[in-house]
Amino acid sequence: MKIISFLSHYRHGADILERIKTTKLGIVFVGNGIYHVGVSENGKPSPLLDKKDVSFYALIDDIETRGFKIEGIDKRVKPVSYEDLVDLIFNEYEKVIWL
């Protein structure tokens, strides 16, 4: 099953992602989840970004609202617009979950 998950928190939800069994997983960082892609702790990026075989996306509006620049986010994350997000949901994934 192909699942796309919205992650809207910085400190919660990553543990649940570890238990999801899927053929394709996409994670969309929204809201305060954006801090996973723009903030380093002790010089290290979010460990969530080390997950293998996962496609990472971040909503451009949320990146900019939190004062980050698109060029400054982790290179493993693709910035997407709302239109891009709709295309992903309808064309690439079968199920949507929100964490």
User: Is the pTM for the entire model greater than 0.85?
Assistant: yes
**15-74: pLDDT as tens digits:** 677 777 788 999 999 999 999 888 777 778 888 888 888 999 999 999 999 999 999 899
pLDDT above 70 (res 91): yes
What is the Cα–Cα distance from 46 to 1, expressed in whole angstroms? 26
Domains of the chain (ranges; CATH) run 7-12+21-98 (3.40.1260.10)
| Non-local CB neighbours of 33 within 8 Å, separated by 6+ positions | 6, 7, 8, 9, 10, 13, 62
pLDDT above 90 for 2? yes
DSSP 8-state secondary structure symbol assigned to residue 90:
H
Residue-level pLDDT at 67: 92
User: Residue 99: its pLDDT value, please?
Assistant: 76
Distant-in-sequence, close-in-space partners of 41: CB < 8 Å, separation ≥ 6:
none
